Amino acid sequence: MLEHFGDAHSVAKWVKASVTDTLLAGIVNGRNGKLLDPKAYITRAEVAVMVRNLLIKSELI
């Protein structure tokens, strides 16, 4: 799953499985669908989208 992102090599080894899980679950989509940008700061808007996606996937909304 990570190989679809141009910067997958910059994801730390210890977190790759968790990142893959969140991508497969549809909670995280990456930036522009092409980059993960794991070393960048996350915005409030991005957090809001992830929380919303998590609540939808959990059937809480």
Q: What does the domain layout of the chain look like in residue ranges?
A: 2-57
Structure tokens at 13: 């080894």
Distance in angstroms (rounded) separating the CA atoms of residues 53 and 29 = 10
Q: Output 1 or 34, whichever has higher pLDDT.
A: 34
The total number of residues shown for the chain amounts to 61
Q: Are 30 and 52 in contact (CB under 8 A)?
A: no
Q: Are 5 and 35 in contact (CB under 8 A)?
A: yes
Report pLDDT digits (tens) over 3-51: 899 999 999 999 999 999 999 999 999 888 899 999 999 999 999 999 9
pLDDT exceeds 90 at position 1: no
Look up tokens 């899980």; give the residue.
21
